[in-house]
Chain A
Amino acid sequence: MQPTRTIATIKPDERTTTTSNHRLKGQLKGLVLHLILGLGGLVMLIPFIWMVSTSLKSLDQVFTFPPVWIPNPIMWHNYIEAFTSVPFATWFINSLKIATAITIGQLITCSLAGFTFARMRFPGREALFLVYLATMMIPAHVTIIPIFVTMNWLNLVDSPWALILPGLTSAWGTFLFRQFFLSLPSELEDAAKIDGCSFWRIYRQISLPLAKPVLATLGIFTFMGSWNDFLGPLIFLQSKDQKTLTVGLLQFKAEFQGLGQWHIMMAGTVISLLPILIAFVVGQKYFVRGIALTGIKG
């Protein structure tokens, strides 16, 4: 609003023409923008469209030239074949179990430690926090070999615990919670402290309820990271019943790709992508806000 008023005071006589010109120009600009963004968006979506399209084709339609985008007849049966040929349901439950355990674990351990670093005084606090910070830039590849050796020694290879245990905490999450708690005003907590409230109750009843945005952000990203994790399950999970969706898909691929059965493969891929896509559509706001807030990756 400010600019029009400023311009208007500078050139009062030209006001009417400028506005109508502006409006026309604005509409044209909007149209061009929609065209460009829409085209770009289509390019982004082509893999998904192609995936769904192929997943509903019959085998001979998969190999027709030029390819058709709308399958005829629509082969819903592909989905049944994909779903029953490999234990998708088991893999889905495995993924869900591991991702849920890791997410809940991180929310608890990281919020508690973050609160402790931000609000409590104890000898060694600064030094210890520095160690947490220092480990944040270490790539996962450095730690995964000793973790594999440890799990092998504990006889936990091919068990979901091999993935859950190392995932229950993260330096990054601890850092995120500490920064958040530091940014909160401490008056409420001070009042509670004076009234003789224990640190546990301050954490549980005052700080944690205020940390909902961080809980949501870290929760979503931890869940997504674990759900999409590939290297971990690839290394730790071997038997068919223990696999998660990502490595399960690999086995699925091995069974169908050699035969060129791309329609079944795409149906399986759709099945494996569906949960996260639904979660994204429902919680888009949180995904986007989470990234914008924190700028974390992967």
Chain B
Amino acid sequence: MALAQASHAPNARTPFFRSLRWQEAKWAYLFLLPNLALFLTFTVYPVFASFYYSLNAWDLHSPMKFIGLGNYRALFADPIFRKVLFNTFYFTAGVIPFQTALGLLIAVGLNQKLRFMTFYRAVYFVPVVTSAIAVSIVWQWMYEPQWGVINTLLGYIGIEGPNWLFSQRWAMPAVILVSIWKNVGYSVVLYLAALQGVPEALHESAMIDGANAWQRFVKITLPMISPTTFFIIVLSVIGSIQSFDQVYILTGGGPSRATSVIAHYLYQNGFQFFAMGYAAAIAYVLFAMLFVLTLLQWYYRRRWVFGEE
């Protein structure tokens, strides 16, 4: 078709397949081929396959049985899933405010013209590059009730620390603390970049008008960096909802599912119980949550991010 059109074009001396445009397109498809083939196989196809699995009962070995929305119906009647959903929200709500606020606080401190600034920045950032598995093992040892460093330090100020990772009440806060420690460096680095982008001139003119440091921070800095705050919150929510590694090592989801989050329940169903259809349904619920959250965040973005209409 393209060939016919090209050869009927009035000033086309060469057929389309010899034209420069075709030459370019041919190379373009060739360049794209490795990327596209992998992308289709390992991203696009799995997205659809996963949805199809979620409509089936399947244990990987026996043939699939189509059950329509049965998995989703079972999921919403599943008390464990409700618990897991609650835990995921608890975890996310525990991580986000601290990670954002602490990140800003540290970044403001680091943004002064200080000596050793690179060193400090590295110190706050180093947990980010480490593997969650390795540092979770270290934290597990720190949380050890009798000999661990945390309860020892608490003991110095007269507090008898709980058996963190085995307590219904304290296991989740313990996991949250590790996550904040591990990821706060992200917020610091992003905030630092944002703070360095706030024009000096604004602060200077406000200073001349008699604004003190706190007023300048609230009225100038905060609004100017609000896009970064927004960005950090979006990224942290997306990351927190999917978190798995720390939970797996620190508590294994326990005690009695007190710290089991969506990704953990998904892993158990898919790769321990081999309930592939059920696991795929969980994955799609996770996906839907992220999708709705992203839409909501984009909608509310206009209200409080400075300079966007």
A156 to chain B, nearest CB (A): 12
A67 within 8 A of B: yes
* Interface of A, helix, strand, loop or mixed by DSSP: helix
A76 within 8 A of B: no
B130 within 8 A of A: yes
Whose C-beta in chain A lies nearest to the C-beta of B184? Answer: A44
A124 to chain B, nearest CB (A): 9
* Interface of B, helix, strand, loop or mixed by DSSP: helix
Whose C-beta in chain A lies nearest to the C-beta of B228? Answer: A295
Say whether B114 contacts A33, CB under 8 Å: yes
B153 to chain A, nearest CB (A): 9
Q: Decide: A277 near B130, CB < 8 A? Known: A113-B32, A123-B25, A147-B46.
A: yes
A210 within 8 A of B: no
Residues of A within 8 A of B137 (CB): 249, 253, 265, 269
A47 to chain B, nearest CB (A): 5
Say whether A249 contacts B134, CB under 8 Å: yes
Of B43, B106, B116, the residue contacting A171 (CB under 8 A) is B43
Identify 14 new A-B residue pairs, CB closer than 8 A, beyond the known A149-B49, A149-B276.
Answer: A47-B142, A47-B181, A48-B126, A50-B149, A116-B31, A120-B28, A121-B28, A128-B36, A135-B44, A141-B242, A146-B53, A231-B267, A262-B147, A266-B138
Interface residues of A in 155-206 (CB under 8 A from B): 165-166, 168-169, 171, 174, 198-200, 203
> How many angstroms from the CA of A129 to the CA of B130 in the assembled complex?
33
Q: Decide: A139 near B39, CB < 8 A? Known: A6-B204, A250-B133.
A: no
Q: Decide: A142 near B284, CB < 8 A? Known: A2-B200, A41-B120, A109-B35.
A: yes
Say whether B287 contacts A143, CB under 8 Å: no
Whose C-beta in chain B lies nearest to the C-beta of A231? Answer: B244
Interface residues of B in 96-127 (CB under 8 A from A): 106, 109-110, 112, 114, 116, 118, 120-127
> How many angstroms from the CA of A287 to the CA of B42 in the assembled complex?
27
Residues of B within 8 A of A145 (CB): 46, 49-50, 53, 270, 276, 279-280, 283
1/0 per position for A224-260, CB-CB distance to B under 8 A? 1001101100110000000001110110010000000
> How many angstroms from the CA of A295 to the CA of B236 in the assembled complex?
11
B235 within 8 A of A: yes
Say whether B38 contacts A146, CB under 8 Å: no
Residues of B within 8 A of A113 (CB): 31-32, 35-36
Number of B residues with CB within 8 Å of any CB on chain A:
94
Residues of B within 8 A of A143 (CB): 42-43, 46-47, 50
1/0 per position for B125-149, CB-CB distance to A under 8 A? 1110111111101110110100101
> How many angstroms from the CA of A157 to the CA of B231 in the assembled complex?
37
The list of the 9 closest CB pairs from A to B, nearest first, reads A146-B46, A146-B49, A113-B35, A143-B46, A122-B25, A292-B193, A122-B28, A166-B42, A228-B131
Interface residues of A in 35-92 (CB under 8 A from B): 36-38, 40-41, 44-48, 50-51, 54, 62-63, 65-67
B248 within 8 A of A: yes
B183 to chain A, nearest CB (A): 8
1/0 per position for B220-252, CB-CB distance to A under 8 A? 000000000001000100110110110011000
Say whether A235 contacts B114, CB under 8 Å: no
Say whether B27 contacts A297, CB under 8 Å: no
Central interface residue in B60, B109, B130, B189, by most chain A CB within 10 Å: B130
B18 within 8 A of A: no
> How many angstroms from the CA of A272 to the CA of B249 in the assembled complex?
15
Central interface residue in B2, B193, B283, by most chain A CB within 10 Å: B283
Say whether A116 contacts B32, CB under 8 Å: yes
Say whether B266 contacts A284, CB under 8 Å: no
> How many angstroms from the CA of A116 to the CA of B134 in the assembled complex?
40
A111 to chain B, nearest CB (A): 9
Say whether B46 contacts A122, CB under 8 Å: no
B186 within 8 A of A: yes
B17 within 8 A of A: no
Of B114, B121, B200, B238, the residue contacting A30 (CB under 8 A) is B114
Say whether A295 contacts B142, CB under 8 Å: no
A130 within 8 A of B: no
> How many angstroms from the CA of A287 to the CA of B129 in the assembled complex?
9
B55 within 8 A of A: no
30 contacts between A and B (CB under 8 A): A6-B208, A30-B114, A36-B109, A37-B114, A41-B123, A41-B124, A45-B123, A48-B138, A67-B147, A67-B149, A112-B32, A112-B34, A112-B35, A116-B31, A120-B28, A121-B25, A121-B28, A138-B47, A142-B50, A143-B42, A144-B283, A199-B27, A224-B129, A228-B130, A228-B132, A230-B132, A265-B141, A266-B141, A272-B131, A280-B122
Residues of B within 8 A of A245 (CB): 131
A206 to chain B, nearest CB (A): 15
> How many angstroms from the CA of A247 to the CA of B279 in the assembled complex?
22
Say whether B46 contacts A295, CB under 8 Å: no
